[in-house]
């Protein structure tokens, strides 16, 4: 799954689903309640318990205070985003969204029959030279909205029947997301949150998401600091933080659990974008997963890389993946005993 690039899917979806309605102030929520799977509703999502115990409000307070001296991600910019200052991600404390719609191009356990309720956030702390969504993530295409409006998007996606709320590139807006979540819970939100990230995350931010996120969907790129620095805006520490992040995510949610209908309800779903010429150190990454997580950890080895944005400035990145490179990765994962591959 995930064989269609997000950018091309996004372009098509804007036409097909009328996602711009979700950004329009004229939009009114459908009154129809979703037909939720009873089993999912009983057990998950876990954020309901945090709200019941009053813990969610404490988390919101802590997270919003981070905006004043921002270290939400390992960039550690220390800017005051509440005063309009921006760091590497170029985001202020006002959340900016590019689009929201039921996505049918994600992994099967997320999509089911009714789609994954995807919200694409603008801006990003990574700055990858090959980014397929660079207009959104690097150029900041999107619309600034209130946290209340973000809550409305969540409710709307649920009312459209989506199986989850899929937060794409959420890291720099975690305070807004959790605040919006609380508002949405109070309006009846009851489907799991999918945290679909780089995952260039600090352990501190992830710990504040413990019990809030049920499904982590980290898209892991580099295992070599030099490659991370060269192709993703000087992120030498990317491999270091990714390893810690994956372990923390697994500690929180464990391996992927699905409902009787095969829909993801909780767990870690790892993605790895294979780059040409082994620039993502795919061999090292597979070894890391095999040695640190159960063999039935969900792993999607993604073959859809194609040169975009500034990738043509780097000859080693300026071609698609060869079939032999993909097969080699799959064979290696199998050799290590990983038995839950998305192929
Ligand atoms: S979220 Fe943005 S401003 Fe904050 S540390 Fe990361 S890149 Fe810097």
Mean pLDDT calculated for residue range 7-30: 40
22 assigned to some structural domain? no
* Nearest atom in ligand 1 to 81's CA: 3
Whether the pLDDT of residue 342 is over 50: the answer is yes
The helix (run of H) or strand (run of E) holding residue 335 is helix 323-335
Torsion on CA atoms 156, 161, 164, 165, rounded to nearest 10: -20
Those residues whose C-beta lies under 8 Å from the C-beta of residue 60, and which sit 6 or more positions away, are 175, 178, 179, 182
At 44, the pLDDT band (50, 70, 90 cuts) reads confident
Residue identifier of the C-alpha nearest atom 3 of ligand 1: 87
Residue 88 Cα to ligand 1 midpoint, Å, equals 6
More confident site: 73 or 19: 73
φ/ψ (deg, to 5) at 6: -60, -35
Whether the pLDDT of residue 122 is over 60: the answer is yes
61 assigned to some structural domain? yes
Whether the pLDDT of residue 18 is over 50: the answer is no
Residue 294 Cα to ligand 1 midpoint, Å, equals 32
Output the 3-class SS for 69-104: HCCCCCCCCCCCHHHCCCCCCCCCCCCEEEEEEEEC
310 assigned to some structural domain? yes
How confident is the model at residue 109, as a pLDDT? 98
69 assigned to some structural domain? yes
In tens, the pLDDT along 247-263 reads 999 999 999 999 999 99
How confident is the model at residue 39, as a pLDDT? 45
At 37, the pLDDT band (50, 70, 90 cuts) reads very low
How confident is the model at residue 69, as a pLDDT? 98
User: How many domains, in total, are found in the chain?
Assistant: 1
In tens, the pLDDT along 163-222 reads 999 999 999 999 999 999 999 999 999 999 999 999 999 999 999 999 999 999 999 999
29 assigned to some structural domain? no
How confident is the model at residue 14, as a pLDDT? 37
How confident is the model at residue 271, as a pLDDT? 98
Q: Domain range holding 87?
A: 6-17+37-335
250 assigned to some structural domain? yes
343 assigned to some structural domain? no
Q: How many Cβ atoms from other residues are within 10 Å of residue 197's Cβ?
A: 26
The owner of tokens 């318990």 is 49
Mutation test of ligand 1: which of 91, 94, 128, 198 has the most ligand atoms closer than 8 Å to its C-beta?
A: 91
32 assigned to some structural domain? no
Residue 82 Cα to ligand 1 midpoint, Å, equals 12
- Terminal-residue alpha carbon distance, the chain: 7
Percent of the chain with pLDDT over 70: 87
Domain at 190, CATH number: 3.20.20.70
How confident is the model at residue 266, as a pLDDT? 97
Residue 272 Cα to ligand 1 midpoint, Å, equals 23
At 343, the pLDDT band (50, 70, 90 cuts) reads confident
Mutation test of ligand 1: which of 63, 67, 69, 75 has the most ligand atoms closer than 8 Å to its C-beta?
A: 75
Whether the pLDDT of residue 19 is over 60: the answer is no
* Nearest atom in ligand 1 to 73's CA: 6
Residues lining ligand 1, judged by CB closer than 6 Å? 70-73, 75-77, 79, 87-89, 91, 125, 172
Residue 270 Cα to ligand 1 midpoint, Å, equals 23
In tens, the pLDDT along 63-117 reads 999 999 999 999 999 999 999 999 999 999 999 999 999 999 999 999 999 999 9
Residue 274 Cα to ligand 1 midpoint, Å, equals 26
């Amino acid at each position: 799954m995930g064989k269609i690039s997000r950018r091309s899917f996004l372009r098509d979806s804007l036409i097909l689903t009328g996602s711009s309605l979700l950004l329009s102030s004229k939009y009114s929520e459908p009154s129809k309640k979703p037909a939720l799977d009873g089993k999912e509703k009983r057990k998950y999502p876990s954020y309901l318990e945090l709200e019941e115990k009053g813990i969610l409000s404490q988390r919101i307070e802590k997270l919003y205070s981070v905006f004043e001296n921002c270290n939400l991600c390992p960039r550690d910019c220390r800017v005051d985003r509440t005063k309009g200052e921006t760091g590497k991600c170029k985001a202020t404390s006002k959340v900016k969204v590019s689009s929201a719609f039921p996505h049918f191009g994600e992994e099967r356990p997320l999509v089911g029959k009714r789609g994954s309720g995807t919200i694409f956030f603008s801006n990003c702390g990574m700055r990858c030279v090959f980014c397929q969504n660079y207009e959104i993530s690097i150029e900041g295409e999107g619309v600034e909205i209130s946290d209340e409006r973000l809550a409305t998007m969540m409710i709307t996606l649920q009312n459209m029947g989506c199986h989850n709320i899929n937060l794409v590139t959420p890291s720099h807006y975690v305070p807004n997301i959790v605040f919006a979540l609380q508002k949405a819970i109070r309006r009846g939100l009851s489907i799991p949150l999918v945290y679909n990230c780089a995952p260039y995350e600090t352990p501190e931010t992830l710990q504040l998401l413990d019990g809030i996120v049920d499904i982590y969907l980290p898209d892991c790129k580099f295992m070599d600091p030099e490659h991370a620095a060269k192709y993703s805006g000087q992120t030498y520490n990317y491999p270091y933080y990714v390893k810690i992040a994956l372990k923390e995510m697994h500690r929180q949610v464990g391996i992927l659990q699905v409902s009787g209908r095969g829909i993801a309800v909780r767990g870690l779903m790892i993605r790895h974008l294979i780059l040409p010429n082994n620039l993502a150190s795919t061999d090292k990454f597979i070894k890391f997963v095999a040695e640190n997580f159960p063999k039935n950890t969900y792993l999607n080895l993604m073959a859809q890389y194609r040169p975009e944005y500034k990738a043509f400035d780097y000859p080693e990145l300026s071609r698609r993946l060869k079939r032999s490179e993909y097969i080699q990765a799959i064979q290696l994962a199998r050799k290590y005993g990983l038995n839950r591959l998305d192929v």
